[in-house]
Amino acid sequence: MKHSVKRIALLTAAFAYMVLLIEAIRAAVAWWHGELARPGWSDIALIGVLPLLVWIWWRYISPFGQPDCQKCTLPPEPDKPQ
């Protein structure tokens, strides 16, 4: 029972995060293209929180932010003849 509640909470938080990230990107692109003549408070807040959401994605979700990611390391260089 405890694990299912934890899993549901984690899935809910992940869904909420992804919705925020997508909406923040949507608002930033609309602002960039000049489609927001008068941005509302929600648009301003989403654009303002976008760097934090991107940092969270880069650090915790993206494989590029993981220091021990084996798939992201460069392959070993073959010994160069001297």
Domain ranges of the chain: 2-63
What does the pLDDT read at residue 80? Answer: 59
Whether residue 74 is predicted with pLDDT greater than 90 in this model: the reply is: no
Each residue of 3-57: pLDDT tens digit?
A: 888 889 989 999 999 999 999 999 999 999 999 888 899 999 999 999 999 999 8
What does the pLDDT read at residue 35? Answer: 92
Q: Is the pTM of this model over 0.85?
A: no
What does the pLDDT read at residue 58? Answer: 87
Q: Give the residue among 66, 43, 55, 44 at the shortest CA–CA distance from 17.
A: 55
Q: What's the N-to-C CA distance of the chain in angstroms?
A: 64
Distances (CA, A) of 65 to 15, 23, 33, 54: 20, 23, 29, 11
